[in-house]
Amino acid sequence: MAGKSLKVESSFSMILEIPPFISSRPPVVIPGGCNRNFRGSLVGSVLEFPDEALIWSARACSEPSELANGFPTKKDRGASSPKQSESKLSHSRGPIRPQSPRKTGYTLPGRELPRRLTRGFRAFTIRAWARAFIFHSPKGHRTVQILLTNDDGVFAPGLRALRKELMKLGDVTVVGPALEQSGVGHSITLLEPLVVKSVDDEDGNALGYMVEGSPADSVKLAICELMPRPPDLIVSGINAGSNAGINVLYSGTVAAAIEGAFFKITSIAVSLELAEHFDYPHAAKNAVKVIEKILANKPPTGSLYNVNLPAHSRGEPKGIKVVPMGVGRHGEGFEKRRDPRGRTYYWMTYNPPFHLEGPETDVTSLCEGYITVTPLHFDLTRHDLLNEVGGWNWSL
């Protein structure tokens, strides 16, 4: 990264150089302070991501002796109570004491910082710049909350793979259907109760909740009841099979994202093209890269995006294309059968095109091996026809 130098002022505020990917922005100001409850030399969290500057919060221990193992030692704290110790740390101790000369490269006026502090700070900045800079948290100190859902069910491998990657961006809460809900669209449950059960991941840690309802039910219930506060981001996927073209209108995956957009929360649906073998871990990595690019541009609240990833059998994606939704019908049909009692029944079949020519859409670009991003909106009004239709004779 470009930012190697660190200036520490007498007020213990720190100014970093800006990494190259956001070099157009002003320096990052990190106000200082001491808090023994934070493990390690420095801990940071996103405060704001306004248009003018990036503002971070960081806490640093005020004496080198406190950096021995990340926490103040008993000798440093004494035998006093935790409250007394914290009071001493906050009020009794003065500024950083002069230390023996060390070649750290980071200095206060007339003194230098210990190597352990600077090493901790470098590790902190690498982690922070790599992931957390992209989020906008206008309400102050808080961890980014991500709601993850799908329509394939809470135990689907695509959801598990995407959760693993999203956890690098923030706290992930999973709320999804108990059973597969493919093709249910934006249905909600009105005539039956919504049974909710907590579920754990493979390590026995809390994963989230499964809802005996639709994807839209899951999102609505998560926002209104299950999460401590509304999430900052909603991600739906990874769906087993693409949701491109008119399939957007049938998709439970996309419907879950639309439900999030109803609540004015940025929402992203992610789907992986149908294939004999799904490489979900690889797809999840690509999906999070796309999500990071979307969030780095600070879209308006309530923005809605549909992302489709090409199958692994096509090779590495050729790139990312922002394209409109296709409106053609492809590969639909029915297979007629008879049951043992002679009754006729049908199975719907779907054979998505592997190659397709025509105007550039999400369907054609996906067939060419590109990741597709389509901005969507749920307002179905034909605004261009309002005046014309309004001029008709509507007298009763």
Same domain, 195 and 320: yes
Q: Taking residues 75-95, report their average pLDDT.
A: 43
Name which residue leads in pLDDT, 93 or 230. 230
Q: What is the CATH number of the domain that holds 203?
A: 3.40.1210.10
* Residues paired with 309 in a beta bridge: 272
In this structure, is residue 394 part of a structural domain?
A: no
| pLDDT higher than 70, residue 124 | no
> Is 365 found in the same domain as 216?
yes
Q: Is the pLDDT of residue 339 over 70?
A: yes
Asked which of 134, 166, 182 is the last residue of a domain, the reply is: 134
Q: What is the DSSP letter of 40?
A: S
Looking at the fold, whether 120 and 154 belong to one and the same domain comes out as no
Q: Are residues 285 and 210 in the same domain?
A: yes
Decide if 391 is inside a domain.
no
pLDDT beyond 60 at 33: no
Q: Name the band, by pLDDT with cuts 50, 70 and 90, for residue 177.
A: very high
How far lies 260's CA from each of 17, 101, 242, 390, in Å? 36, 56, 20, 32
- Residue 139 placed within a domain: no
User: Do 97 and 169 belong together in one domain?
Assistant: no
Continuous segment of H or E residues that includes residue 287 = helix 280-296
Per-residue confidence band for 202, with pLDDT thresholds at 50, 70 and 90: confident
Total residue count of the chain as it appears in this document: 396
**Total domain count, the chain:** 2
**Model's pTM, two decimal places?**
0.66
Q: How far apart are CA 128 and CA 29, in angstroms?
A: 14
Which pLDDT does position 329 carry in this prediction? 75
> Same domain, yes or no, for 171 and 230?
yes
Task: Please indicate, yes or no, whether residues 312 and 248 belong to a single structural domain of this protein.
Answer: yes
Position with higher pLDDT, 37 vs 204: 204
Does residue 396 lie within any of the structural domains? Answer: no
- Higher pLDDT: 392 or 126? It is 392
Q: How far apart are CA 65 and CA 67, in angstroms?
A: 5
Strands 42-48 and 320-322: unpaired
**Domain check: are 46 and 166 in the same one?**
no
Query: Do residues 307 and 351 share a domain?
Result: yes
Residues 294 and 197 in one domain: yes
What is the domain range of residue 47?
6-134
The verdict on residue 395 lying in a domain is no
Distances 102 to 70, 106, 343 between C-alpha atoms, Å: 20, 10, 87
- Looking at the structure, tell me whether residues 226 and 352 fall in a common domain: yes
- 285 and 198 fall within a common domain: yes
